[in-house]
Amino acid sequence: MDFLTIEPDQSNTKNVLVITDHFTKYAVAVPTPNQRAKTVAKVLWENFLVHYGMPERLHSDQGTDFESHTIKELCQITGIQKIRTTPYHPRGNPVERFNRTLLNMLGTLQENDKTHWKDFVKPLVHSYNCTRNDVTGFSPYELMFGRQPRLPVDLAFGLPVSEKTSTSHSQYVEKLKSHLKESYKIATENSEKVMWKNKLRFDKQVTAAELSVGDRVLVRNVKLRGKHKLADRWESDVYIIQKKAGTLPVYTVKPEGKDRPIRTLHRDLLLPCGYLSPAYKPEQLKPTTVIAPVTSENVDLPDPENEEVFLPDLSDYSSSYLTRITTEVDLPAPPSTAAPVPVDPPGQRSQGSMEGTVGEEQGVESGPEPTAELDMEQPAENEADSADSEPPEENSFS
């Protein structure tokens, strides 16, 4: 069942509630003043349920008029299972095909008759039900009632109504059951052939691209109405695939990085976008570097180059990097020891060495004051005095 909206006629009627039987293709169309849930429940009860019985399932889109509490109570009372299509997927509702047929038939009316098209809806629907259907091979009227309808054309040409044979009620019922059983069998076979033929033709134009749980996708912008040639065809938000509805191409998606309700959409409305950057951008935080004061206690003397590496919070940045800071410290050079003075073993010290030692002590006392720089050259006169007073090293061990 579905609503068909047409241009308002002279009585300001623009809505038609269309109900079809999926197997027999039998259709019922009723013009309504509005699309409220109470109107839907009243039309459904008075024009279909009390005439043709309670169906097993009631299929519709997810409009508020069909998903209301009133329709749920009606289905609960009559024992009907309420099922629905995926959002914005009209191919999932077989009524859409009949809507196009009904619009084509109404379009054949004359201009003065189109102003009150409401009066022609039921006669045109009846002519549709009495016409052979290409899918089943039978007219919807014959599959529904088990006999051919009696039309005005039969009366115009004087065709016989039925055979002039008297039968009992039991014989009529048996004959009707046998005829319906044979008709249902042939209609089922024809429907399967047409279904596979349509599937092969449709699959030639479709490239299979299945989605997996966790994939990032875009959703088609279904809110566009009218002319929007420059508008975005896809929404800006990125969605994540949560699950798949069995073997059907229907997926449950959730917005990435946002606390919003999940959506159930058909594959035709989804576009893979794994190559896009994340939809949300974290706040860019500047790294803070704290450098401790340099002292002789926290400096490793053997390693004169003290390098510190600071790692910022890499999770807050789209690309990670390292900041290297090198601190140079000027420290006094470590004290160096002078060359050891050779010492003779006890009892073997020569007089020459003793004189050299005394001369060295006198040179120290009378010489210039020592300087702090150890690498500075001694004055020339001191070098001459030390050369005269100090004997060679090899004589000190003699």
265 Cβ partners below 8 Å, 6+ apart? Answer: 86, 87, 88, 219, 250, 251, 253
Question: Alpha-carbon distance 35 to 44, whole Å?
Answer: 12
Per DSSP, 395 falls in state G
Give 64-93 as a DSSP string.
TTTSSHHHHHHHHHHTPEEEEPPTT-GGG-
Longest dimension (CA), the chain: 168
pLDDT score, position 358: 44
Domain chopping of the chain, boundaries: 2-203, 216-272, 282-327
pLDDT score, position 346: 52
Cα end-to-end span (Å), the chain: 128
pLDDT score, position 339: 53
Pairwise pLDDT comparison (355 vs 17), residue with the higher score: 17
Question: Alpha-carbon distance 160 to 40, whole Å?
Answer: 41
- Give me the amino acid identity at 396: S
CATH 3.30.420.10 applies to domain 2-203: yes
367 Cβ partners below 8 Å, 6+ apart? Answer: 382, 385
Pairwise pLDDT comparison (286 vs 217), residue with the higher score: 217
Tell me, rounded to whole angstroms, the distance of Cα 33 from its chain centroid: 40
Residue 118 and residue 13 in contact, taking contact as beta carbons nearer than 8 Å: yes
Q: Is residue 200's pLDDT more than 80?
A: yes
- Give me the amino acid identity at 362: Q
Residue 273 and residue 214 in contact, taking contact as beta carbons nearer than 8 Å: no
Q: Is residue 351's pLDDT more than 70?
A: no
28-86 pLDDT per residue, tens: 999 999 999 999 999 999 999 999 999 999 999 988 899 999 999 999 999 999 998 88
pLDDT score, position 90: 82
- Using the Cα atoms of residue 240, residue 242, residue 248 and residue 250 in order, give the sign of their dihedral: negative
pLDDT category at 209 given cuts 50, 70, 90 is: confident
290-331 pLDDT per residue, tens: 555 555 555 454 554 554 544 445 444 444 445 556 666 666
Pairwise pLDDT comparison (223 vs 98), residue with the higher score: 98
Residue holding tokens 């859409």?
A: 96
15 Cβ partners below 8 Å, 6+ apart? Answer: 3, 4, 5, 6, 31, 32, 33, 34, 35
379-392 pLDDT per residue, tens: 444 444 444 444 44
Per DSSP, 372 falls in state S
